[in-house]
Amino acid sequence: MKIQLENVKPREIETRSFEIITEELGEKELIPGTELIVKRCIHTSADFDYAENLCFSEGAVEKALEAIKNGACIVTDTQMAKAGINKKALAKYGGEVYCFMSDEDVAEKAKELGSTRATVSMDKAASLNKPLIFAIGNAPTALVRLYELIEEKKISPYLIIGVPVGFVNVVQSKEMIMDTQVPYIVARGRKGGSNIAACICNALLYMIDNERDYWK
């Protein structure tokens, strides 16, 4: 077999990947302070569209870092996103990750209301008496419900990571969140996913840790 593997030590793979991403981004200008998040999304997807589609409200990153340091919890709309978040890193500051999608009461209520489990999950999250960050990588209906809860002043998240993926109401639901006064990180357009939602959470955590040597 003639396939040649690059000789990179396990610990150096992430650093080398970020070097390649930085190289290929070339002259592309990213918003100062958002670079690690953008590059981590590209690292997670190998999709350079994230250098174009990620939108940050003014000061969103600083506010999110502050919230995490003060013990904010993260609510996801999939078990996949929950599985992908570095829960150990979050726990250092007192935060936990919640996902209510598999809860029986959520399934029952969604059926009763002819609604989605994602919608009902957001209502359940709104009843938590905790500082919250939402990481939504799948269900536009979750973002639509968050928009309503914000308008009704029933919820006031520290950050909404709005990165559902797909073809039905995904684009619109993200625009709705960008129309609120809540800090957001949104992947404008159709793209996103549970992996992207988790990776943005991890990027924020690693920015606090400042452990990764590719972060400058």
Q: Catalytic amino acids?
A: 43
Contacts with a second copy: how many residues (CB under 8 A)?
Answer: 49
Q: Is 70 helix (H, G, I), strand (E, B) or coil?
A: coil
Question: Residues 143 to 182: which contact a second copy by CB under 8 A?
Answer: 144, 165-170, 172-173, 175-176, 179
Confirm or reject binding of residue 106 to a second copy (CB under 8 A). Answer: no
Question: Residues 28 to 67: which contact a second copy by CB under 8 A?
Answer: 43-47
Question: What does each C-alpha distance from 42 to 73, 104, 151 come to in angstroms?
Answer: 25, 35, 33
Give every CB contact of residue 164 below 8 A, 6+ residues apart in sequence.
Answer: 77, 136, 137, 138, 139, 140, 142, 143, 170, 173, 174, 192
Residue whose CB is less far from a second copy, 56 or 147: 147
Residue whose CB is less far from a second copy, 110 or 182: 110
CB of 78 to a second copy, least distance (A): 8
Residue whose CB is less far from a second copy, 62 or 211: 211
Give every CB contact of residue 210 below 8 A, 6+ residues apart in sequence.
Answer: none
Q: Which helix (H) or strand (E) holds 126?
A: helix 117-126
Q: Which helix (H) or strand (E) holds 17?
A: helix 13-25
Q: Which residues bind a second copy (CB under 8 A)?
A: 1, 3-6, 8-10, 13, 16-17, 20-21, 43-47, 78-80, 82-84, 110, 114-116, 141, 144, 165-170, 172-173, 175-176, 179, 189-195, 198
